[in-house]
Structure 1
């Protein structure tokens, strides 16, 4: 049996990508890669992440747009800006306490 890995980040946490200019709110976590092989192979080999680590579903945004992202743990960093996110789906599932912390709404499920 493989090593049990614990996620470094948690649902409701704001993170940023270590290579690309976007940040986002974690709304779900896979303990290891759980997307398609086609998706994984579409990532350039020189930056393709390992599969044996947590992967995070994000309400993501950059300076131009909002979207859903699927990102490996090795490519995420804590976001230290405390700036609110503008992704339109966040308000349906999370409450921002005003200090850059998002908490799941009561009755919201993943």
Structure 2
């Protein structure tokens, strides 16, 4: 099942529980290894990429059976796909600068972005 961006993530058995995902859509995070900040725009309950991408890009071999996150990278124009173990909450309280931010979110408050309503 494909991931959902800026909305609840669902599994075969219903909605993914809060216990399964440590971070939520709209939360600003920090990458532990590479030091960049970003905002989560989607959550997969487990790795949903290709075998080839995992082999080439996920060299530290993070677990595939744990949540993976779609993240808009601060001060960049790309999105990245990150294993949960590489992320931590961002404590700066600062907003993210990304050209696609407005496609997903409409407001920022206390370290979180709120998803745009579907009517906008």
Question: Normalising to structure 1: TM-score of the pair?
Answer: 0.82
CA RMSD of aligned residues (A): 1.9
5+ long unaligned stretches in structure 1: none
Could you tell me how far 1:83 is from its partner in structure 2?
1.1
Residues 98 and 11 of structure 1: CA distance in aligned 2, closer, same or farther (over 3 Å): closer
What are the Cα deviations for residues 12-66 of structure 1, in whole angstroms up to 9, with x where unaligned?
A: 0011111002111111110000001111001364x2211110000011135xx33
5+ long unaligned stretches in structure 2: 1-16
Say whether residues 1:71 and 2:85 are aligned partners.
no
Question: Normalising to structure 2: TM-score of the pair?
Answer: 0.76
Which residue number corresponds to residue 92 of structure 1? 103
Q: Distance in 1 between matches of 2:79 and 2:91?
A: 21
Indicate the SS of the match to 2:53. helix
